[in-house]
């Protein structure tokens, strides 16, 4: 098991707090029940609009929040994001009309924007965290995040069966714990770290230049953007709609998500983290794994759906592989903004995609249509990108840190 190699490792306090944050931040109790709860008030198309509005707000707030994080305080921006993400579930719970769902989408979007880039940069550039340590932390945070999903999904489904409000209240309580954990992290950058001192516009321009500095990075960004779009574009309600189509109750959906999370932890530590050590292996895994996952999810058979869902869970858990490759090739002074620029590109590409997926599911009367579309995108975009990256990997020139 992977943990045998790190069991004796001694981590700094900031790493332990960060891993705890990854667990608590993944406690999404409403994950297996959001579509059922929301569909009693709004239509599938409006649910798609909910995700689109959240993505739009995320796109608008992403880069400004990260520039503030680079220039002033990554910790402060992260805390602000957690506050917004803690309020959002209460708004959803009280939402009895589409405008209130829109308000919740705004909170989710802006809150997620504050979290993107800032939290990772806070730890990556900490004076007590080396590049090698962060790679170990990256592997461990996947397990911590998956464990959080496992616990909250199983409990969330049962909570919903008892009372529809309980998962949302539990979500708020988890947010408060998350807030305390981040507040305990001391923001102490490496001695060679420099803060951004140029104007907002120039800092953003420099960040984009760093993100797209080499052909290797440009192709990696293209692959990462497409992959991120397919992971985030309405996929939550597509999965839930598919589970409902296969006859799973709210409690059954919760246990299914939880069981898949447990299986993902086993696969992750028994096989994936040991087999996928090189960047080349990780790139090929993302491309061909996506193709396999969406093909299995879209075929209609329950057994194939379950197999595809497990593969998708593994991909979603290891989605940070691409960000990690980018991390090692960018300067710390622009880290939060570069990561947010990468995320913003994904949001820009996916803008309106969530609404389109909602329309597609409503028109086809089955979520399998969305899965088949994602499978075609994997074949047409991700696979060629991965092959190019493997062939031209030697051309990538890391940015001096």
3-class SS letters over the chain: CCHHHHCCCCCCHHHHHHHHHHHHHCCCCCCCCHHHHHHCCCCHHHHHHHHHHHHHHHHHHHHHHHHHHHHCCHHHHHHHHHHHHHHHHHHHHHCCCHHHHHHHHHHHHHHHHHHCCHHHHHHHCECCCCHHHHHHHHHHHHHHHHHHHHHHHHHHHHHHHHCCCHHHHHHHHHHHHHHHHHHCCCCCECCCCCCCCCCHHHHHHHHHHHHCCCHHHHHHHHHHHHHHHHHHCCHHHHHHHHHHHCCCCHHHHHHHHHHHHHHHHHHHHHHHHHHCCCHHHHHHHHHHHHHHHHHHHCCCCHHHHHHHHHHHHHHHHCCHHHHHHHHCCCCHHHHHHHHHHHHHHHHHHHCCHHHHHHHHHHHHCCCHHHHHHHHHHHHHHHHHHHHHHHHCHHHCCCCCC
Q: Is residue 194 part of a domain?
A: no
Q: Is residue 160 part of a domain?
A: yes
Is residue 254 predicted with pLDDT exceeding 60?
A: yes
Mean local confidence (pLDDT), 273-298: 90
Mean local confidence (pLDDT), 289-309: 90
Predicted local confidence at residue 166, as pLDDT: 92
* Overall number of domains in the chain: 1
Distance of alpha carbon 282 from alpha carbon 185, whole angstroms: 31
Is residue 401 predicted with pLDDT exceeding 60?
A: no
Predicted local confidence at residue 319, as pLDDT: 83
Question: Which residue in 33, 22, 255, 35 sits closest to 155, CA to CA?
Answer: 255
Is residue 348 predicted with pLDDT exceeding 70?
A: yes
- CB–CB of 313/258 below 8 Å? no
Q: Is residue 400 part of a domain?
A: no
Q: Is residue 15 part of a domain?
A: yes
Q: Which residue has the higher pLDDT, 167 or 237?
A: 167
Mean local confidence (pLDDT), 298-305: 87
Mean local confidence (pLDDT), 38-62: 83
Predicted local confidence at residue 129, as pLDDT: 84
Predicted local confidence at residue 288, as pLDDT: 94
Distance of alpha carbon 25 from alpha carbon 379, whole angstroms: 32
Predicted local confidence at residue 58, as pLDDT: 83
Q: Is residue 195 part of a domain?
A: no
Which residue do the tokens 């840190």 mark?
401
Q: What is the CATH number of the domain that holds 254?
A: 1.20.1250.20
Q: Which residue has the higher pLDDT, 172 or 333?
A: 172
Is residue 108 predicted with pLDDT exceeding 60?
A: yes
Which residue do the tokens 């008892």 mark?
162
Q: Which residue has the higher pLDDT, 97 or 116?
A: 97
Q: Is residue 401 part of a domain?
A: no
Predicted local confidence at residue 195, as pLDDT: 65
Q: How confident is the model at residue 26 (pLDDT cuts 50, 70, 90)?
A: confident
Predicted local confidence at residue 111, as pLDDT: 92
Predicted local confidence at residue 396, as pLDDT: 47
Question: Residue 123 sits in which domain range?
Answer: 3-189+200-395
- CB–CB of 124/335 below 8 Å? yes
Q: Which residue has the higher pLDDT, 382 or 328?
A: 382
Mean local confidence (pLDDT), 309-317: 89
Q: Is residue 279 part of a domain?
A: yes
């Amino acid at each position: 098991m992977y943990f045998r190699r790190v069991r004796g490792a001694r981590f700094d306090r900031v790493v332990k707090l960060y891993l705890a944050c990854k667990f608590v931040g993944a406690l999404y109790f409403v994950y297996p029940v959001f579509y059922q709860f929301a569909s009693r008030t709004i239509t599938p198309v409006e649910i798609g609009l909910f995700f689109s509005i959240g993505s739009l707000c995320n796109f608008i707030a992403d880069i400004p929040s990260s520039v503030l994080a680079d220039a002033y305080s990554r910790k402060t921006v992260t805390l602000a994001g957690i506050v917004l993400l803690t309020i959002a579930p209460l708004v959803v719970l009280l939402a009895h009309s589409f405008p209130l769902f829109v308000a919740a989408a705004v909170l989710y979007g802006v809150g997620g924007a504050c979290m993107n880039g800032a939290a990772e940069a806070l730890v990556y550039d900490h004076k007590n965290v080396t590049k090698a340590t962060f790679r170990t932390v990256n592997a461990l945070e996947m397990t911590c995040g998956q464990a959080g999903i496992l616990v909250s999904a199983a409990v969330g489904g049962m909570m919903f069966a008892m009372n529809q409000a309980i998962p949302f209240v539990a979500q708020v309580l988890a947010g408060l714990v998350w807030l305390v954990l981040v507040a305990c992290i001391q923001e102490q950058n490496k001695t060679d770290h420099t803060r951004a001192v140029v104007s907002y516009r120039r800092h953003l321009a420099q960040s984009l230049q760093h993100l797209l500095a080499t052909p290797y990075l440009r192709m990696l960004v293209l692959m990462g953007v497409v992959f991120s779009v397919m992971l985030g574009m309405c996929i939550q309600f597509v999965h839930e709609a598919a589970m409902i189509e296969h006859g799973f109750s709210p409690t059954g959906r919760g246990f299914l998500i939880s069981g898949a999370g447990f299986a993902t932890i086993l696969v992750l530590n028994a096989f994936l983290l040991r087999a996928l050590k090189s960047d080349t292996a990780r790139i090929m895994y993302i491309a061909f794994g996506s193709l396999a996952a969406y093909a299995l999810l879209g075929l209609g058979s329950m057994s194939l759906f379950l197999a595809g869902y497990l593969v998708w869970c593994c991909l979603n858990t290891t989605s940070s592989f691409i960000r990690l490759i980018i991390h090692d090739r960018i300067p710390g002074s622009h880290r939060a903004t570069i990561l947010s620029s990468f995320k913003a590109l994904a949001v820009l590409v996916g803008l309106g995609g969530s609404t389109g997926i909602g329309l597609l599911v409503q028109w086809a009367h089955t979520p399998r249509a969305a899965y088949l579309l994602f499978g075609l995108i994997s074949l047409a975009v991700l696979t060629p990108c991965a092959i190019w990256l493997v062939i031209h990997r030697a051309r990538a020139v890391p940015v001096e840190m």
